[in-house]
Amino acid sequence: MSVDSVVHKPPFPKNYADEFLVLDHGKGTEIWDTAGKRYLDFTGGIAVNSLGHGRKDLAQIARKQMEKLTHVSNLYTTEPALELAAKLVKTGNPGQFAAVHFGNSGTEANEAALKYARVYALRTKGEGHHKFLSFTGAFHGRTLGSLSLTFTEKYQKPYAPLIPGCEVAPYNDVKALARLDRTYAAVLIEPLQGEGGLDKISPAFAKALQDTCAKHDILIIADEIQGGYGRTGTFFAWQQLGLTPDIVTLAKPMAGGLPLSATLIPAKVNNQVHVGDHGTTFGGGPVTTAVANRVYDIITDPKFLDTVIKRGKSFDRLLKGLKKDFPFADQVKGMGLLKGLRLKHDPAQKALMGEVISACLDKGLLVLRAGSDILRFAPPLTVSKKELEEAVAILRTVLEEKAKAFGV
């Protein structure tokens, strides 16, 4: 990094980078560091800041609620939590969801889903029906349950043994579903993968998964933590992909940057759950849910979602323009405003991705990476067409430089 406001070796554990850019304030898609340098934030706090930075409307709601009541635990509830729960159980198809468990992070939402699935399997099918299946390229979180279904060697290996009964199958491989039988409690899947590389389920795979799971009474858990909540132009990504899951997990953008997650469950699962089976101290507190009510209302406005689709299309066109001019930028991936640009390169040119990301940062554009060779973009859903153009212009300059330097 060649910017001024960089801190070296902060007292954070070594699982993080040893230098950090220190960010100070933001407005919409723009963000400034402590030295006053401006960036376009196409990371969106890893798909969290869907409504952009510096939202006075959300800040006011949080402040008002903090002054009124900040925390009550799950021994009691509050009006904002009740209001949000009522909204969330009405999402999806009529009658699809009966209850929502609130948590604080994506991984917690998945933990809750896995626990509910095991409770359901135990109490309807009996012992020995506890297995889980997930897919290559998936990222479901860092706690031990979610990690047991995130089959990336470098994430899993130091923590063995992980929880028993977890298996992996190739994403989008219909034949691999033949292994499923009644001994599986659930399948956990990202209908649109985030970290893994922006792949989405094919219609044939969605149908095979639906039919096979229905046949063996296996619950389908859709992890919509990164791809859901309006990011693709519909509230859930699965609504465009021919899948109807039983359980849905949500988190990142729910509370405008505050920590909140949700696990939506159907009546048949809720009917098997007993008092004390699961719980949380902070999940669904009045401050996060008060903000989340406003975020939900904004995102579910059909005009807002239409604009996401429109911006997604503009972004697609702009990225495809790069693809035309740089043969190594060979594939545009993703849906709506969760997009990827694959930079095909020789494994010997390992440094290319890192150099592109850091050159973008130097030129005022924050971007993410997915898998080994994909640049990932998750800008606020409020991004303007002009900002999309500015970001792609920066990217173009960077690709020109790096194409020369790497001979690609």
Ligand X SMILES: Cc1ncc(COP(=O)(O)O)c(C=O)c1O
* Chain positions contacting ligand X, by CB under 6 A: 46, 105-107, 110, 139-141, 190, 194-195, 223, 225-226, 251
Smallest gap from residue 139 Cβ to ligand X (A):
5
Longest pairwise C-alpha distance within the chain: 63
Output the residue with the shortest Cβ distance to ligand X. 106
Smallest gap from residue 108 Cβ to ligand X (A):
7
The neighbour count for residue 90, using CB atoms within 10 Å, is 11
β pairing state of 19-21 and 261-265? unpaired
Smallest gap from residue 227 Cβ to ligand X (A):
7
Smallest gap from residue 43 Cβ to ligand X (A):
11
For residues 6 and 168, which CB has a smaller minimum distance to ligand X in the complex? Answer: 168
Smallest gap from residue 393 Cβ to ligand X (A):
28
Upstream peptide bond of 302 is cis (omega within 30 degrees of 0):
no
Q: What is the enclosing helix (H) or strand (E) of 155?
A: helix 153-156
Cα torsion angle, 345, 351, 355, 357, sign:
positive
For residues 195 and 373, which CB has a smaller minimum distance to ligand X in the complex? Answer: 195
**Alpha-helical runs (H) found in 196-334:** 203-216, 267-270, 286-299, 302-325
For residues 190 and 316, which CB has a smaller minimum distance to ligand X in the complex? Answer: 190
- For residue 359, CA distances in Å to 94, 283, 317, 390 come to 48, 39, 23, 15
Distance CA 159, CA 148 (A): 9
Smallest gap from residue 107 Cβ to ligand X (A):
3
Smallest gap from residue 200 Cβ to ligand X (A):
13
Query: Which of 304, 294, 261 has its CA nearest to residue 63?
Result: 294
Distance CA 406, CA 196 (A): 25
Query: Which of 252, 248, 238, 242 has its CA nearest to residue 269?
Result: 248
For residues 77 and 152, which CB has a smaller minimum distance to ligand X in the complex? Answer: 152
Output b/e per residue, 224-245; b: 16+ Cβ within 10 A.
bbbbbbbbbbbbbbbbebbbeb
For residues 91 and 110, which CB has a smaller minimum distance to ligand X in the complex? Answer: 110
For residues 44 and 266, which CB has a smaller minimum distance to ligand X in the complex? Answer: 44
Smallest gap from residue 192 Cβ to ligand X (A):
9
Q: What is the enclosing helix (H) or strand (E) of 119?
A: helix 106-125
Distance CA 143, CA 187 (A): 18
β pairing state of 338-343 and 261-265? unpaired
Residue 308 · residue 50 · CB < 8 Å? no
For residues 194 and 328, which CB has a smaller minimum distance to ligand X in the complex? Answer: 194
For residues 80 and 141, which CB has a smaller minimum distance to ligand X in the complex? Answer: 141
Smallest gap from residue 48 Cβ to ligand X (A):
8
For residues 226 and 329, which CB has a smaller minimum distance to ligand X in the complex? Answer: 226
Q: What is the enclosing helix (H) or strand (E) of 40?
A: strand 38-41
